[in-house]
Amino acid sequence: MPSNKRDFETARTRKFRESQLCPEDERTIGHIEEFGCSVVSVERTNYGLGWSYTIGIFDTCAKPELITVGLPPETAHFALNEAAKLMRAGADLTKGRHRDLVREVECEFRPVDPKWITQLMGWATWYYDGADFPVLQAVYPDLENRFPEDREFDKGFEQPLMQPAAPMTRVESDFWASTDPKSSLFNWKFSDPPHTGVYLSQGVHNGTEPVTYVSHDAEDGAWQFLGNSMADEGGPVLSCFHHPVDSDPGLAELADLPLGWYAERSKIGEPWVRKKHG
């Protein structure tokens, strides 16, 4: 049963209550009014990391909203709620490091570039009706308290760094792609990772021919993506797996092509015909 406690009621929440809300939005507004914020968690995809963020902190106490990427939802929920309490008590989270938020390690809070806010925090953008609002990213270290910039940082704890001056390394680019419905990484279907090396014919690599032949070799598990001229125009080109799939989403239909099989089609849009190598 929803609570009637509204210690953090604002003009914005009252305005929302004057409109017709779906159950999810009703719950969000209720959490903001009762606790000062609501936490949204987005599940990880087949390849991309999940993330969690707050809604309502900026409205209820004029402090930045918070986001973190890659933590289990329960861990993120606790960390963001506790960090919100610290800010309401007057703490400046951007100063120093903070304990007792993410297990036994410290945590840093860094400003987030607006492009990431637009990409990841759709529900908060709805709440603020498209107006700008500040956000801090909760950046966590590895189990030895080494942060992503430190030497010997355990890459098992990699997370995209979303600050305005942070470079778009492979970590950031992959995470961005995994949140973009137009990218193959948004719903990666192959068992091989998207950065696995695959072979393209020159025509496919240059974009002058579509893929009409795909082979999943039995000997080494390698994938080949060739056009009608096959490899006659030159030697194979090594590519990251996701590149041809980004260019031609129809290739994802072959995610279950067994080892030792190949598939052919006459052109893009035509059905694939699968056969076992003789």
Report whether 1 contacts 9 (CB < 8 A): no
- What is the C-alpha separation between 62 and 118, in angstroms, rounded? 19
pTM of the model: 0.88
Statement: residue 246 has pLDDT above 80:
yes
Q: Which residues are within 8 A (CB) of 256 and not within 5 positions of it... i.e. 6 or more apart?
A: none
Write down the pLDDT at residue 1: 45
Band (47; pLDDT cuts 50, 70, 90):
confident
Which tens digits make up the pLDDT trace of 67-123? Answer: 999 999 999 999 999 999 999 999 999 999 999 999 889 999 999 999 999 999 999
> Which amino acid is located at 43 in the chain?
E
Write down the residue that tokens 């279907």 correspond to.
189
Write down the pLDDT at residue 233: 62
Statement: residue 216 has pLDDT above 90:
yes
- What Å distances lie between residue 202 and 140, 233, 263, CA to CA? 43, 6, 19
What are 155's two structure tokens? 């890459």
Maximum Cα–Cα distance across the chain: 73
Band (2; pLDDT cuts 50, 70, 90):
low
Can you name the residues that pair with 105 across neighbouring β-strands? 102
Report whether 188 contacts 46 (CB < 8 A): yes
Domain boundaries, the chain: 11-183, 189-276
Statement: residue 231 has pLDDT above 80:
no
Strands 261-264 and 273-276: antiparallel
Statement: residue 235 has pLDDT above 80:
no
Question: How would you class 245 by CB atoms within 10 Å of its CB: exposed for 0-12, middle for 13-18, buried for 19 or more?
Answer: buried
Can you name the residues that pair with 135 across neighbouring β-strands? 65
User: Angle at CA 143, nearest 5°, toward 137 and 148?
Assistant: 45
What is the mean predicted confidence (pLDDT) over 140-161?
96
Tell me what percent of the residues of the chain surpass a pLDDT of 90: 91
